[in-house]
Each structure stands twice: as structure tokens, then as C-alpha cells.
Amino acid sequence: MITMEILGKVKRLYSRDKKSLHEIAKTTGLSRNTIRKWVRGTDEVDKPSYRRKETANKLTAFHQALELALKADSHRTKQNRRTAKALFVQIKADGYAGGYSRVTDFIRAWRDTAGKAPKAFVPLAFEPGEAFQFDWSDEAMVVGVMKCCSMPTPGPLRPWAASRAGASTTT
């Protein structure tokens, strides 16, 4: 990844210090082909972008409280969710001394990443034999002349299923 610092260093070593491509490659650890491409022209090189380093700020102490509130709100309907302003007032009451824009930036970033995490979907309709289903009702089963104990019935009670096993069911 190209950073402003390394691109500037390579250009300074080449133009000001008159170092060869081989010497620059040895000092920077970059490939000679990469250095050659950077030195010949910046048209082919992707423009480096400035990245602000992540540092602790006034909001850092409240990240956990905000995430907890946002997770709780994600399970609510949109009309019942708290707004960024309401969350700002809440953490302000807890002692936050920073600005509103920091809070909205954090909320926006959370909603773009963790807020849009895929949620598991479990289908509620299965083909016969695909999954076990139990109706937790109290059913008694008579096998021959002997009455068996109560047991949960698999799936919806099907009289034909019991007849296959050679038994009849009674309620």
C-alpha cells in the first residue's frame, strides 16, 4: 500500500540525493520495479491518500455503551429506535464532554459495519424426514393390548404413521 511518507522518501532519495534504484531498493525494502514506476511518473501510480490514525478521543470511553444501545435498538422497529440525538443526550448525562458530530460518525460507522451484519434465517417449513419436529402434547399409545407411557408425538399427529408401525393411537 502506498503511503505519502514512503512515496515522498523514494522521490527524495532519487531526485535530491541522486541514489540509484538499486540503492533505494536496499534502503526501503521495495522492489526495483516498483521504485522505477514511482520515479518515472506518478500517472501510473495510484494517488496515495491521507489516513488519520485512530487515537483515543473523548468518545472512546462510551463506545461500549453506544454499541450496547445500538444493538438493543436494532431489534426494535424503526419507529421505536432511539435517534442519534437521543443517544447523544444519554451519554452526555453519563459524562460525555465531546461533540455531537463524533457521536453521529460513530453511529454511522457502526450501522455500516456491525449494524448490517447478516442475520441467520431458520426456515420453519421442512420436508418430511428433513428435521425432527415434536408437538409437546400428552399422547398415550396402545401397542397390541399394552398401553405405553405418554410421549411427545413427532410432527403433527398422523394416524397413518402409527398404523405402519403396527400400533394405534388414542388420545
pLDDT recorded at residue 105: 92
Comparing 163 with 103, the larger pLDDT belongs to 103
Residue 127 included in any domain = no
Q: Nine-digit cell at 112?
A: 455500516
Note the pTM of the prediction, 2 decimals.
Answer: 0.42
Same domain, 65 and 105: yes
Average pLDDT of span 98-124 = 82
Lowest pLDDT segment from 10-24, 89-103, 151-165? 151-165
Residue 49 included in any domain = no
Residue 154 included in any domain = yes
Residue 142 belongs to domain spanning = 134-170
CA distance 64 to 11: 44
Same domain, 75 and 103: yes
Report the interhelical angle of 21-28 vs 4-15 (nearest 10°).
Answer: 150
Residue 125 included in any domain = no
Same domain, 74 and 112: yes
| Digit-coded pLDDT (tens) for 32-55 | 988 888 888 755 556 666 667 778
Residue 65 included in any domain = yes
Residue 128 included in any domain = no
Does the structure show a pLDDT above 90 at 96?
Answer: yes
Q: Cβ distance 140 to 147 under 8 Å?
A: yes
Residue 139 included in any domain = yes
Q: Nine-digit cell at 29?
A: 525494502
Same domain, 108 and 153: no
- Measured CA to CA in angstroms, residue 89 lies from 75, 80, 96, 100 at distances of 21, 17, 9, 9
pLDDT recorded at residue 39: 83
Does the structure show a pLDDT above 90 at 123?
Answer: no
Count of domains for the chain: 3
* Neighbouring residues of 138: CB distance < 8 A, sequence distance ≥ 6: 150
pLDDT recorded at residue 48: 62
